[in-house]
A and B are shown apart, each in its own frame.
Chain A
Amino acid sequence: MNFLSKEWILGYVFAGLFLLMTLFVPGFFEAYNLINMLFQLPELGILSLGMMVVLLTAGIDLSITFLAALAGVIVATLLTNGYSVPVSILAGVATALAGGLLNGFFIAVVGVSPILVTLGTMTLFEGIVLLLTKGNSISGFPESYSLIGNGLLGAVPIPILIFAAIAVILSILLNKTAWGRSVYMFGNNPTATLFSGINTTRVVLWVYLFAALMAAVAAIIMTSRYNSAKVDIGSSYLLQSIAVAVLGGTSISGGYGKVIGVVLAVGIFQIISNGLNLLGVSSMVIDMLMGTILIGVLLINYVSAKRKQSQTA
C-alpha cells in the first residue's frame, strides 16, 4: 500500500487536526460537540460526493445547491399540504432527477459545456423556487419528517448514517461497476472512451442524474433539520462542495478522485470550522484559512503531478 498517496496524506492531516483541536480547544472533545459535528457534516459531505462524480468527468455542476433548494421546496410544499412523508420525498427526488436529466441532456446529448449549462439551470432553478415561494420560507413539517435530520439511532445521528451509506455505495459503484470505471475513463480521455465502444452519452447522463440525486438527499436532510425550506437554503454549499472535492484530491480536469479523499476532506473542513468557532475566531478569518489550505493542497497536487510527469517522460 502506498502510504504517501493523496488520501493517506489527507488522513494524517485529519488525524493531526483532530488531535490538536482535542488538546487545545476547550469543549471540542465532548460528547455533545462530537455529535453536533456529526449532524453538521453530512449536508456538505453528500453534496461534495455529487460534485466529485461530476468533476471526475471534467465537468462541473453549478446548479447543485439550487436544485437542492427546488427539491426541498417541493417536499416542503407537499408536506405542508397534508401529503404523507414518503410521497413528498418521492416527489422531491423526482423533481431533482428531472433537473438532473435537463443538465445531462444538454451536456451529454447536445454537447454544451457543463459550466454554461449548469450556470443556466442554476438561474432557472432559482427562478422556479422564487416563483413558487415568493422568497418566503415554508415551514411546519410533521414530527416524523424532522426525525430524518434531527434523529439519533442509538447515539449516532441519522444524517451521518445516510452519508456513510452513500459513501460506501458510491465507492462500490465507482470501483466495481462498468459505469464507475467508464466515468474515470471518460474523465481521462473522452475520445478514447468513445472509441472503446462505450456509450459515453449514457455514462455522462447518469453522472448528472447522480449529482441530482445527491442534491435531493441533501435537500431532505436540510429541510428536515431546519424544519424549513427557502430559496437560498444551503446556497453557501456550492463553492464549498467544489472546494471539498478538490481538497479531497479530485482532479478538476477529470479522471482522478476517491470517495475516501472527499470524506476526509469534508471532515477536515468540519473540524476546522467547528474548532475555530469554539475558539471564537471570526468567521471571516475561518474562511480565509480554508482558502489558504485549499491553495496549499492544490499547490502540492500540482507539484507532485509535475514531478510524476517529468519522471515518466
Chain B
Amino acid sequence: MKKMNKMLSVSVSVLLALGLMTGCAVQKNTAAPADGAAGGKSDGKLTIAVVPKLVGIPYFNASEKGAKQAADKLGVELIYTGPTQPDAAQQVKVIEDLISKKVDVIAVAPNDAAALTPVLKKAKDQGIKVMDWDTPADPSVVELSVHQIDDEVYGRHMVDLLVQAMGTDSGKVAIVTGGLSAQNLNTWIDWSKKQIAEKYPNLQIIGDKIGTDEKQQVAYQKTLDLLKANPDLNGILAYSTVAPLGAAQAIQEKGLQDKVSLVGVALPKDSKPFLEDGSLDTATLWDPVKLGYLTVTLAKDLAEGKKPTDGQEVENVGKIEVKADGKTVIMGPPSDFTKENAGNYDF
C-alpha cells in the first residue's frame, strides 16, 4: 500500500516536472522566431532594451507602442521589458539579465535613480551603452537623457492654462498633487509658483499643496473639503495623472463647472468625460507614444555614435531640444487636451 502511494506521488511529480519543461519548451518556441528574426549578432542588427518603471499600466503601454513602431521602422531589435511592480530591486534584476543577454543599448526609466547606479555602471563595463528616458537616472552614468518635457516650461505652462481658463489673472487658486514627495511633481509645482509670483501677482495661492497619495478617491475627497472650506475659490492646479480626475469629480458633483477652473496633468482618454462637461478645463501632458518612439530612435543613434543636436528634426516626433550639456534631450512642448481634441488620442 505504501509503495503504491509513493508511486502515485512520483507519477504526479513527474507530470509536474514535465509540465514545467513543456511550459518552458513552449516559451522557447514562441521566443525562437523572434531570435531568428534578429539573427543574433551575426547580421549586425542592433538590440535595444527599453526598461519602463513597470509594465502593464496604460502610460507605459503607450510608450511601448511608440518604441515598437520606431524599432520596426529603423530595423532594430527591441526588448521592452520591466518589473511588474515599481520596486527598484526587481528593476535591477531585469537590467542584470539584460546585461547577460548582451544587448547593445539599455534605456531605463528608473524607479529609484540611485539604486540603479551600480548596475548601470556594470552595464557600461560590459560595453553596453546606457541612457535614461522618462525619468532621469544618475547623470554620471548615462550617456544620454531623454526628457519628455522641460520642467520649467511645463510648470509655467500650467499656470498660463489656468489663467486662460479662469478668464482673469486675479483670484484664489489651490494646488492639489499626487504624492507630496514625488520629485517631478514638486519640481513642476515650484516652477508654477514661480510663474505666479513673476507674472500673475494677483493670483493668491491658498494653503499648502494638498497631497492625495496618487489616488483618485483621495483627490475627490480632499477637493470636496477644499471647495467647502473656500467658497470663493477660483481655480485648481492638479498634478499627477489621477489627481485632476478626482478633483474634476468633486467639481462635477457640486455643479461648480463655471465657477471653479481646473487644469491638470492627465491622459486624454481618462479625462475626456470631465473635459466634456467642463469640470476639467484643460488636461496637459506629453504624448507617451512619441516618447517611446524618440527613445528608440536616439538609442539607435547612440549605438552608432551619432550625437543628438539642438533643433534636430526627428521623424514622427518633431523638433527636439538639446541642452547645453549635449546629452539632455527635451522632446518638445507639452500637448494640451481639451474637449475638442481629447477624442483623437488612444492613451
Contact = CB atoms under 8 A, between A and B. Distances in A.
Contacts of A285: 27
Given A228-B88, A233-B87, A40 B23 contact: no
B118 A279 contact: no
A237 B181 contact: no
Contact of B81 (A39, A140, A283, A303): A283
B88 A12 contact: no
B330 to A, nearest CB: 24
Interface string B176-190: 000111110000000
B96 interface: yes
A36 B122 CA distance: 11
B114 A134 contact: no
Chain A CB within 10 Å, residue with most, of B9, B40, B84, B99: B9
Interface stretch (A209-217, A250-258, A268-276): A268-276
Interface residues of B, number: 60
Contacts of A17: 20-21, 24
A161 interface: no
Interface string A197-230: 0000000000000000000000000100111101
A87 interface: no
Contacts of B126: 32
Contacts of A225: 92, 118
Chain B CB within 10 Å, residue with most, of A16, A43, A135, A279: A279
B69 interface: no
A196 interface: no
B5 A33 contact: no
Interface string A272-295: 011111111111110101001100
Contact of B55 (A21, A32, A275, A282): A282
A146 interface: yes
B88 A230 contact: yes
Contact of B180 (A134, A226, A227, A297): A134
Contacts of A227: 114-115, 117-118
Interface stretch (A111-119, A171-179, A184-192, A304-312): A304-312
B27 A226 contact: no
Interface in B145-184: 179-183
B105 to A, nearest CB: 15
A236 B90 contact: yes
A283 B34 contact: no
Interface string B101-117: 11000000000111111
B22 to A, nearest CB: 10
Interface string B1-39: 110011011101100110111011101100100110000
B24 A274 contact: no
A61 to B, nearest CB: 18
Contacts of B34: 280
A280 B116 CA distance: 21
A193 interface: no
A219 to B, nearest CB: 11
Contacts of A276: 24, 27
A283 B96 CA distance: 14
B56 interface: yes
Contacts of A33: 100
A256 to B, nearest CB: 15
A274 B100 contact: yes
Contacts of B1: 311
A280 B6 contact: no
Contact of B97 (A136, A274, A287, A303): A274
Contacts of B113: 137
A288 to B, nearest CB: 10
Interface in A7-63: 9, 12-13, 16-17, 20-21, 24-27, 30, 32-33, 36, 39-40, 43
A284 B84 contact: yes
B5 A279 contact: no
A293 B27 CA distance: 15
B214 to A, nearest CB: 11
A236 B115 contact: no
A283 B94 contact: yes
A235 B85 contact: yes
Nearest to B34: A280
Contacts of B334: none
Contact of A226 (B13, B35, B86, B92): B92
Contact of A281 (B12, B27, B83, B182): B27
A273 B97 CA distance: 9
B317 interface: no
A228 B99 contact: no
A262 B96 CA distance: 24
B16 A278 contact: no
B9 A304 contact: yes
A289 B23 contact: yes
Contacts of A4: 6, 9-10, 13
Interface of A: 4, 9, 12-13, 16-17, 20-21, 24-27, 30, 32-33, 36, 39-40, 43, 134-140, 146, 150, 222, 225-228, 230, 232-237, 273-285, 287, 289, 292-293, 296-297, 300, 303-304, 307-308, 311
Given A277-B101, A285-B27, 12 more contacts: A16-B21, A24-B24, A26-B40, A40-B96, A135-B180, A226-B89, A233-B88, A236-B84, A281-B31, A283-B94, A300-B13, A304-B9
Interface of B: 1-2, 5-6, 8-10, 12-13, 16-17, 19-21, 23-25, 27-28, 31, 34-35, 40, 55-56, 79, 81-90, 92-94, 96-102, 112-119, 126, 179-183
29 contacts: A9-B9, A12-B17, A13-B13, A13-B16, A16-B20, A25-B28, A32-B99, A39-B96, A136-B183, A226-B92, A226-B112, A226-B116, A227-B114, A228-B112, A230-B115, A236-B90, A237-B89, A274-B100, A277-B97, A278-B100, A279-B31, A280-B79, A280-B101, A283-B83, A284-B84, A287-B84, A289-B27, A300-B9, A307-B8
The 4 tightest CB contacts between A and B, nearest first, are: A135-B181, A139-B114, A226-B115, A277-B97
